[in-house]
Chains A and B, each alone.
Chain A
Amino acid sequence: MKKQIAVVEDEPALRENYAAALARHGYLVKTYGNRKTAMQAFQVRLPDLAIIDISLEDEAEGGFDLCRELRALSAELPIIFLTARDSELDAVSGLRLGADDFLTKDVSLPHLAARVAALFRRIDALRRPDNAAEIVRRGALSIDAEKMQTTWNGAAVTLSLTEFWIVHALARNPGHVKNRQQLMDAANVVLDDNTITSHIKRMRRKFQQVDAAFDAIQTVYGMGYRWVE
């Protein structure tokens, strides 16, 4: 059965372009121009994935409100924010509301499709019984690339997709310095240096919630970051 994706975007041309690209990858795409029509449809039937723009028509933060309402309907529904707004604050707000990823509109359609596929893969993997095929273990860290799940000392660390790919890229070659560009490439995102820095900070904080003594991601000034065991 085809996965159903809801695209909530107030710019018709963009909406149709996203819809066309995703449809080409075999998804069933429903598009909505504003929060009201989207919410009406969601109350009838939930999609498998929602891609939401933050500002919707005359509501500057309508996307956030929609995300909140959607989370109230379903705790597991994957949500991706796709927006022209690239500020740090927006990203943090979106992720805090329970979005699974936060992408700027600079992302290319193939990248978007890859993201969507990855997200679905993680959900599917979570539903399947364990197979230890794609698991990277580095000391206390274990990364399941299949399920896109991260644990530290056995405790789950909830990372967004972008964060997951950054940790994955760092941990695969411990001790190697990855510069910001490399990390962006690994995460398939276009971000500026400061956003990478704040992603790193947020990841550290998430690990430190599990283990206060966490110190595995090290800053190499002037170059980038590395994973130390």
Chain B
Amino acid sequence: MPELGKYAVAVLSAYAISLALLAVIIGMSVARYRRVKAALERVERGRNG
């Protein structure tokens, strides 16, 4: 662990918040992609079947 001194809380919280926000947008994008892809497959199956 690098020596962060008296600014450790500031540095670590900046990293934690940023990485959490990146994880949220990635997670939401992937979840929505999967949900919509499955929904389209359902609709197309219903149309063909």
User: A and B, one complex?
Assistant: no
Which chain A residues have a beta carbon within 8 Å of chain B's beta carbons? none
